[in-house]
C-alpha cells in the first residue's frame, strides 16, 4: 500500500461514519456525517488501520489511489507569489 492516498467515493457513501470511527487519524465527519479524508499520503505505520477501515465500509466507498488528490475547488496554493 506504499504511495497510496485514501479516497471516498461520494456517489457510494451514505454517511455510516464507520470509517471515522475506525480510522480517526485520517478521517473526520462533516456536519452531515459524511467523511472528509486527510489528503496526505497514508504513512506505512497506518496501513493496517487504513485497510481495516476500507474493508469495514458497508457502502464500499473507501478506495486507495496512487495519484495525489486534486486541490479542492476554491483552494489556493500553499505558497503564492504576489510580487507585482
pLDDT digits (tens, 9 = 90+) for 30-78: 999 999 998 889 998 998 999 999 999 999 999 888 877 776 554 444 4
Residue 77 forms part of a structural domain: no
Prediction pTM value: 0.73
Q: Which residues make beta-bridge pairs with 8?
A: 62
Domain extent for 29: 5-65
Which residues lie below 8 Å from residue 23, measured CB to CB, with a gap of 6+?
Answer: 6, 46, 49, 50, 52, 53
Residue 15 forms part of a structural domain: yes
Secondary structure (DSSP) of 60-82: --EEEESSPPPPPTT---SS---
Domains identified in the chain, total number: 1
CA distance 58 to 28: 17
2-37: pLDDT as tens digits: 468 999 999 999 999 999 999 999 999 999 999 999
We report the CATH number of the domain holding residue 57 as 3.30.70.20
Residue 71 forms part of a structural domain: no
Backbone torsions φ then ψ of 62, nearest 5 degrees: -90, 135
Amino acid at each position: 500500500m506504499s504511495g497510496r492516498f485514501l479516497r471516498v467515493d461520494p456517489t457510494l457513501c451514505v454517511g455510516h461514519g464507520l470509517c471515522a470511527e475506525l480510522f480517526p487519524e485520517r478521517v473526520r465527519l462533516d456536519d452531515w456525517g459524511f467523511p472528509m479524508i486527510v489528503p496526505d499520503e497514508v504513512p506505512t505505520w497506518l496501513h493496517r488501520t487504513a485497510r481495516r477501515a476500507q474493508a469495514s465500509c458497508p457502502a464500499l466507498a473507501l478506495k486507495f489511489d496512487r495519484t495525489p488528490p486534486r486541490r479542492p475547488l476554491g483552494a489556493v496554493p500553499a505558497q503564492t507569489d504576489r510580487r507585482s
